[in-house]
Amino acid sequence: MPAKQPKKRSGRTLFALGLGYLIDQGEAQAMGVLSPIIQSVWGVSLGQLGLMTTLRNITQTISSPFWGYAADKYSRKKVLIFGTGIWGIWTILVGLMPSFDALLVVRAISGLGLGCLMPATFSLLGDHFSQEKRGWALGIIGFVGLMGTVLGVLALGFVATPELWRWGFIGLGVFSILSGLIIWWLVDEPPRGAAEPELAGLVSDKTDERYSIKWKDVISTLRIPTIWAAILQGITGTMPWVVMGFYFINWMVTDLGFNNGISFNDPRGSAPLIFAIVVVGAALSNFMGGVIGDWAEKKNPNYGRTIIGQISVFSGVPLFYIILKYAETMSFGMLVGLTFLTALLIGWPGRGAKEPMMQAVVPPEMRSSAYSVVNFIEGGLSAFAGVIAGTLADQMGLTKALMWTVPFPWLICTIVFSLFYFTYPKDAAKVRDMMAKRREELLELARICRKVPAHPAESFHEAIQSFWLTHLGIYLECENVAFSLGQMDQYLNPFYLADTITEDEALELMQCLWIKLYENVHGGIGHVQTLTCGGQTPDGRDGVNETTWLIWRTTREMMNVGPSVATRVSEQMSDECLEYLLGMMRDGRYMPQLYNDDMMVPAMMSKGIAPEHARQYGLIGCHEPSICGMGYFRSASWPGYVCFQDWLERALGNGSKLDSDQKPGIETGDPAEFATFDELWEADVPRP
């Protein structure tokens, strides 16, 4: 039966993440509100202001893949605490800079932390909510975040003066630090995949380790066609938002003559006020888009979200054209109404369509990385929108510049959105198949662990698991000692030959075992675990078999410090085997350790051990040979394992250790009377 899962605290997690996004988006609008003041204080051009925005967007975009990988590899909660909380210090420093050049540099550095929030949030929401509710959750985040834009615009409007503008950045930095504390307090981090229907009740922190990603997996997200559709859609769809976020208020102030402060009775109109109303519309649009997208998913899982996203983005083309073309002739109230309607309709694609589709086509352990890769590419290109719009504005005026950098890209975006019709159904089906296979795999693991070692193993996988559980029990019982894993290739090979498993599947199982064995060494429970392979069979034939090769390949490819691999060689071993072993040594590895059967077996037989038993010896710990399953012999018991230092010490101590008065050995006489080395040798080496 699936294990009972701890209750997910999705509500409070959503609240904390939304609060973090609220402050993040408020900070994003700081330059849009305060840029006219900064421009007047330091006398910089629109192009210079655009450069500052571009640099900040570039650093945010460049950092995004690193934040995404960190969130997928490690704790998403800890990543958020660092990126949103601690990094708020840089926003405070922005408000303390004495010159525009210094402001330019620190503003760019502060952008490095702004790439942290959404990749981790994107992944967390995917594990808190099922596919039919992710649009709603993302819409809530978008709504709360954009309300941060509203509050930020309104609050920053009150400090948009040459005397107070610095306090805007200082305040945002303080609130960012506070949001990190709230995330630490409220965010609940479920196992990755917890919201997938196939994995309900099966995932845990251990499965997070099993499906942990590597850096190369970040790039592999680009092999998913839907991700490329999202990138192309994002490049054309994000550019207008970047431009509006920075220049829309400036356009209303410079071209329409609106007031740059908050005012409800200024006959010229208040630019921050109308922008705040627009953002309220966009915030509602995010929530509406999420709800409508979830509804569309239920109606048509393959195409529903694509349809509503395409309709939404196209609606912005004629509406924003009308705003730019006829704003000068409109009343303030009419402009407010039209901009609010436009914002209400154009905010569906992200939360309601693209992002839930991205969550559906990427495995749970790669969602932060996928989000960050998409953001890296689309954000990197759209980051130049500020420079492009600013340069065009310097040449042809801000109104015409906005015409080319807002409605026109949205028209292209509408066309690009059609790509989802072809990519999304196939990619989503692949992930569902992957989750179904993962469910079978986890259930099979549970079945095997319930079966062995209490009952006999019947497959290669069961045999390895039975060995591991038995070995682990012994290991935990006897700390800090040396262990022998026996002739692993001999007792595992019958299971491998009788199984239908492929060589690659068997190799993967062996590699997983190597990782678990290495955890013992790395964790400090003990220090030496040695397995033996190769050598001879009890009847004297060459002992190298199929599992021997699996052991060698695993050792060579994994390059772990442990386990130690003792390989027995003899005249019967083929040149192919010897060349492979020497090749491993040429790689700079200290394994395999080689032991000469042509010397070891006769030596043990000379002590009365039967030939068929002597040929089954295995190594314990460092180098101690023993007959597997028949006894435990100390090193000094065997010819060839002699401590000459001990002999010398006893010979010089008249039969006793130099640090002891006990005389466990024969009396060797006064060492001062030894005239030659031969006398010393004869004194301590008994003769028959």
- pLDDT at 375 (0 to 100): 82
| CA-wise closest residue to 79 among 128, 126, 110, 115 | 115
More confident position, 345 or 680: 345
pLDDT range class, residue 137, cuts 50, 70, 90: very high
Estimate to the nearest angstrom the gap between the alpha carbon of 649 and the chain centroid.
Answer: 57
SS3 content of the chain, % helix, strand, coil (to 5): 70, 5, 25
Q: In this predicted model, what pLDDT tens digit does every residue of 474-501 receive, in sequence order? A: 877 776 667 788 899 999 999 999 999 9
pLDDT range class, residue 665, cuts 50, 70, 90: low
CA distance 330 to 344: 19
pLDDT range class, residue 263, cuts 50, 70, 90: low
Mode of pairing for the β-strands spanning 617-620 and 593-596: unpaired
Look at residue 353 and tell me whether its pLDDT is greater than 80: yes
pLDDT range class, residue 152, cuts 50, 70, 90: confident
Look at residue 265 and tell me whether its pLDDT is greater than 70: no
- pLDDT at 288 (0 to 100): 95
pLDDT range class, residue 521, cuts 50, 70, 90: low
Report the pLDDT averaged over residues 369-382.
Answer: 83
CA distance 349 to 357: 11
SS3 of 95-130 = CCCCCHHHHHHHHHHHCCHHHCHHHHHHHHHHHHCC
Look at residue 256 and tell me whether its pLDDT is greater than 80: yes
Q: What percent of the chain has pLDDT over 70?
A: 91
CA distance 183 to 80: 7
pLDDT range class, residue 208, cuts 50, 70, 90: confident
CA distance 518 to 526: 10
Q: Where is average pLDDT lowest: 116-120, 152-156, 379-383? A: 379-383
Look at residue 638 and tell me whether its pLDDT is greater than 80: no
Helix (H) or strand (E) holding 596: strand 593-596
DSSP structure class, residue 270 = B
Q: Where is average pLDDT lowest: 315-319, 454-458, 503-507, 653-657? A: 653-657
Look at residue 144 and tell me whether its pLDDT is greater than 80: yes
Q: Exposed (0-12), middle (13-18) or buried (19+): which is 524, by Cβ within 10 Å?
A: exposed
SS3 of 300-349 = CCCCHHHHHHHHHHHHHHHHHHHHHHHHHHCCHHHHHHHHHHHHHHHCHH
> Do 68 and 372 meet the contact criterion of CB atoms below 8 Å apart?
yes
CA distance 241 to 248: 10
- pLDDT at 639 (0 to 100): 43
Look at residue 434 and tell me whether its pLDDT is greater than 80: yes
Tokens of 198: 């196939």
Report the pLDDT averaged over residues 173-195.
Answer: 92
Q: Where is average pLDDT lowest: 23-37, 67-81, 606-620? A: 23-37
Tokens of 242: 């970047």
Backbone φ and ψ for 617, nearest 5 degrees, come out as -70, 150
Q: Domain limits of the chain? A: 10-438, 458-635, 644-684
DSSP state letters, 497-558: HHS---HHHHHHHHHHHHHHHHHHHHTTS-SEEEEEEESB-TTSSB---HHHHHHHHHHHHH
- pLDDT at 636 (0 to 100): 42
Report the pLDDT averaged over residues 443-462.
Answer: 95
CA distance 473 to 156: 63
Partner residues linked to 620 by β-bridges: 624
Q: Given its phi and psi angles, is residue 362 left (phi above 0), alpha (psi -120 to 50 degrees) or beta?
A: beta
Q: Where is average pLDDT lowest: 338-342, 404-408, 523-527, 561-565? A: 523-527
pLDDT range class, residue 643, cuts 50, 70, 90: low
DSSP state letters, 54-95: HHHHHHHHHHHHHHHHHHHHS-HHHHHIIIIIITHHHHHHHT
Q: In this predicted model, what pLDDT tens digit does every residue of 216-229 receive, in sequence order? A: 888 899 999 999 99
- As a whole number of Å, the end-to-end CA separation of the chain is 69
Report the pLDDT averaged over residues 170-184.
Answer: 91
Report the pLDDT averaged over residues 259-281.
Answer: 74
Report helix, strand or coil for 439: helix
- pLDDT at 466 (0 to 100): 97
pLDDT range class, residue 640, cuts 50, 70, 90: very low
Look at residue 361 and tell me whether its pLDDT is greater than 90: yes
At the topology level, CATH places domain 10-438 in Growth Hormone; Chain: A; (1.20.1250)
Q: How many residues does the chain have?
A: 688
pLDDT range class, residue 660, cuts 50, 70, 90: low
State the chain's mean pLDDT as an integer.
86
Q: Exposed (0-12), middle (13-18) or buried (19+): which is 344, by Cβ within 10 Å?
A: buried
- pLDDT at 201 (0 to 100): 85
Fill in the amino acid letter for 484: S
Fill in the amino acid letter for 214: K
Report helix, strand or coil for 21: helix
Backbone φ and ψ for 624, nearest 5 degrees, come out as -80, 120
More confident position, 305 or 146: 305
CA distance 436 to 422: 23
- pLDDT at 688 (0 to 100): 42
CA distance 110 to 334: 38
Q: Given its phi and psi angles, is residue 628 left (phi above 0), alpha (psi -120 to 50 degrees) or beta?
A: beta
H-helix segments, 193-270: 205-210, 215-220, 225-254
pLDDT range class, residue 395, cuts 50, 70, 90: confident
| CA-wise closest residue to 255 among 153, 340, 157, 329 | 329
